[in-house]
């Protein structure tokens, strides 16, 4: 169970009356609710809350035993169907608006806040700064702005009426300081009468409270709620003394849950690191020929390399570098037979099996970048094209090696001047902050951007081994060593010259199968 699960379970137990035992001498919540109503009447407040609550018309029907237990002569009628769970007999159901009154804030612009002056709160700070309770403010404002605003006082509960998602809307915090605070727009304060503010905060922020706010808020990108909706939140109300005991119990357990959460975060980081290191180790073992045994009957990589060269020549491709004319050493001779891309002994980073050979990426792949499209062209020509190739930009290649194909941009099939990354080829970002870190394997033909490089292998069967090689330490270290420029990137020519340890084709397939069996286990280590 996660720390979040523990916290939610604790708060849910609290609001259902299961966290502390009930004590008969503490009275019952119906008497407390009647006291609150009398207190509100003495201040001239309308019990029916017609200005802030949606009141149900009385049906005239006789209430059931369960309905009678809800809130005595509750002016905000609560039907039996509304009740989400059972509560202790000494508790009663009511609505939040019956327990106090709401006041909405007024606007305090960002440029009206200062580092010194009179204290104020803006609505965005409810999501970033103030959690559960606070006694000092982060922001301040001038006397002129301060005097125009509604004020927050000790034990008031603050909630934001606007947010970015429905799960966080109207998160509550109570003010425990003594100074008056100016309240900005899109905020409301709730001033409870004869109730424990912290108990109400924990209830509003409980899974029960969050579910209600989520279901009653509106909007998606910008989410809104209102004091009317918040005032209608059903409250399972305990006697005041029990409210205090519940808060004390919550605050006894919360530090333990927070400590558990820190350990959980540390453990997750360790697991992720172990998973990453294990994956690196597996890939490094794979490209060194240590992950599966060699089988003599599978032949050798020099013959495979020769096949690839002949295939290239048959298509009129000649990628051979000029020969140096020097006599090769015994080790160099073993690198790639009559390798036209000369590899010196000093370049070789480690030993490989005898039936493998060293070559360069240019001998195995056609490497090329894609085509850039500016935002104007995308909108005018290529957005919402029905038939065509998907256009993949750097942002569409994710760090988890997936590709977002359906991004609303397609290149019409008749546009044959765009470079294509065929199905089952590798796309890698080679420029910018994501260079060498974003890599993916295509599952269809796509057009792609100029910061992405396609590794289009000359022999189809070797593309998966290339994909995993590009994630190995051998390649990533060489890639980092070749990054240059202000933006940071690696040129195609430098990529072409990077070394590649080539196994026989059958062994490649066995290596890929072994990798794909082990990598999911690495991912589980990171969970």
If you average pLDDT over residues 344-362, what whole number do you get?
93
pLDDT at residue 415, as a whole number: 77
**Tokens standing for residue 388:** 């065509």
310: how many CB neighbours lie within 10 A of its CB?
9
Q: Is 522 within the bounds of a domain?
A: no
Q: Is 521 within the bounds of a domain?
A: no
Exposure of 284 in the CB half-sphere (CA atoms within 13 A): 12
Cα separation of 470 and 380, whole Å?
36
Whether residue 427 is predicted with pLDDT greater than 90 in this model: the reply is yes
Is 351 found in the same domain as 219?
no
305 neighbors 363 (Cβ within 8 angstroms): yes
Is 324 found in the same domain as 219?
no
For residue range 380-404, what is the model confidence (pLDDT) as tens digits? Answer: 888 878 888 999 999 999 999 999 9
Whether residue 321 is predicted with pLDDT greater than 60 in this model: the reply is no
pLDDT at residue 527, as a whole number: 61
Q: Is 328 within the bounds of a domain?
A: yes
For residue range 181-236, what is the model confidence (pLDDT) as tens digits? Answer: 999 989 999 999 999 999 999 999 999 999 999 999 998 888 999 999 999 999 99
For residue range 152-187, what is the model confidence (pLDDT) as tens digits? Answer: 999 999 999 998 888 889 999 999 999 999 999 899
Is 322 found in the same domain as 239?
no
Q: Is 141 within the bounds of a domain?
A: yes
Is 329 found in the same domain as 250?
no
Is 257 found in the same domain as 300?
no
Q: Read off φ and ψ for residue 242, nearest 5 degrees.
A: -70, -35
| Residue 489, domain extent | 294-509
Whether residue 88 is predicted with pLDDT greater than 50 in this model: the reply is yes
Q: Considering its fold, how many domains does the chain have in total?
A: 2
Is 333 found in the same domain as 253?
no
Q: Is 80 within the bounds of a domain?
A: yes
Q: Is 282 within the bounds of a domain?
A: no
Is 452 found in the same domain as 373?
yes
Mean per-residue pLDDT of the chain: 86
Q: Is 482 within the bounds of a domain?
A: yes
Is 148 found in the same domain as 46?
yes
CATH number at residue 348: 3.90.220.20
**Tokens standing for residue 158:** 């603050």
Is 221 found in the same domain as 320?
no
For residue range 106-123, what is the model confidence (pLDDT) as tens digits? Answer: 888 888 998 899 999 998
Residue 391, C-beta contacts closer than 8 angstroms, at least 6 positions apart = 373, 378, 382, 407, 409, 410, 411, 418, 446, 447, 448, 449
Is 205 found in the same domain as 84?
yes
Confidence band (pLDDT; 50, 70, 90) for 526? Answer: low
DSSP element (H, E) containing 515: helix 505-525
Q: Is 524 within the bounds of a domain?
A: no
Cα separation of 294 and 237, whole Å?
73
Cα separation of 249 and 21, whole Å?
11
Confidence band (pLDDT; 50, 70, 90) for 317? Answer: low
Confidence band (pLDDT; 50, 70, 90) for 66? Answer: very low
Is 443 found in the same domain as 349?
yes
Cα separation of 90 and 236, whole Å?
10
Is 245 found in the same domain as 310?
no
If you average pLDDT over residues 316-344, what whole number do you get?
44
């Amino acid at each position: 169970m996660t720390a979040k699960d523990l916290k939610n379970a604790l708060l849910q137990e609290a609001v259902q009356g299961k966290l502390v035992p009930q004590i008969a001498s503490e009275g019952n919540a119906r008497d407390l609710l009647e006291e609150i109503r009398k207190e509100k009447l003495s201040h001239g407040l309308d019990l029916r809350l017609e200005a802030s609550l949606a009141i149900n018309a009385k049906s005239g029907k006789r209430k059931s035993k369960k309905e009678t237990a809800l809130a005595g002569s509750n002016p905000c009628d609560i039907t039996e169907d509304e009740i989400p769970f059972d509560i202790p007999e000494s508790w009663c159901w009511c609505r939040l608006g019956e327990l106090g009154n709401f006041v909405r804030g007024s606007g305090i612009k960002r440029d009206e806040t200062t580092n010194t002056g009179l204290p104020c709160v803006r609505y965005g700070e409810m999501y970033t700064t103030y959690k559960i309770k606070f006694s000092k403010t982060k922001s301040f404002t001038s006397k002129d702005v301060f005097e125009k605003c509604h004020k927050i006082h000790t034990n008031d509960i603050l909630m934001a009426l606007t947010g970015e998602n429905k799960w966080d809307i109207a998160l509550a915090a109570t003010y425990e300081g003594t100074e008056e605070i100016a309240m900005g727009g899109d905020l409301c304060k709730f001033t409870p009468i004869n109730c424990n503010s912290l108990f109400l905060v924990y209830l509003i922020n409980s899974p029960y409270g969050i579910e209600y706010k989520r279901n009653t808020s509106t909007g998606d990108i910008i989410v809104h709620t209102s004091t009317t909706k918040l005032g209608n939140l059903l409250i399972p109300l305990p006697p005041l003394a029990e409210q205090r005991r519940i808060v004390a119990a919550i605050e006894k357990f919360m530090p333990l849950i927070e400590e558990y959460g820190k350990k959980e975060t540390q453990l997750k980081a360790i697991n992720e690191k172990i998973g990453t290191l294990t994956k690196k180790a597996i890939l490094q073992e794979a490209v060194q020929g240590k992950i599966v045994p060699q089988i003599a009957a599978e032949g050798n990589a020099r013959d495979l390399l020769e096949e690839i060269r002949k295939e290239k020549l048959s298509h009129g491709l000649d990628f051979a570098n000029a020969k140096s004319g020097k006599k090769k050493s015994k080790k160099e001779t073993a690198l790639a037979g009559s390798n036209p891309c000369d590899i010196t002994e000093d370049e070789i980073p480690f030993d490989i099996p005898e039936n493998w050979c060293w070559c360069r990426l240019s001998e195995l792949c056609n490497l090329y970048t894609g085509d850039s499209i500016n935002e104007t062209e995308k909108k005018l020509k290529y957005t919402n094209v029905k038939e065509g190739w998907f256009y993949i930009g750097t942002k569409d290649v994710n760090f988890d090696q997936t590709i977002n194909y359906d991004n609303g941009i397609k290149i019409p099939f008749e546009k044959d001047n765009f470079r294509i990354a065929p199905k089952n080829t590798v796309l890698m970002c080679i420029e910018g902050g994501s260079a060498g870190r974003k890599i993916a394997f295509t599952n269809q033909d796509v057009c792609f951007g100029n910061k992405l490089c396609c590794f289009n292998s000359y022999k189809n069967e070797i593309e998966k081994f290339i994909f995993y090689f590009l994630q190995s330490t051998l390649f990533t270290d060489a890639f980092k060593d070749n990054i240059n420029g202000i933006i940071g990137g690696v040129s195609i020519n430098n990529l072409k010259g990077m070394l590649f340890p080539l196994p026989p084709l059958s062994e490649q397939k066995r290596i890929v199968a072994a990798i794909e069996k082990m990598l999911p286990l690495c991912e589980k280590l990171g969970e």
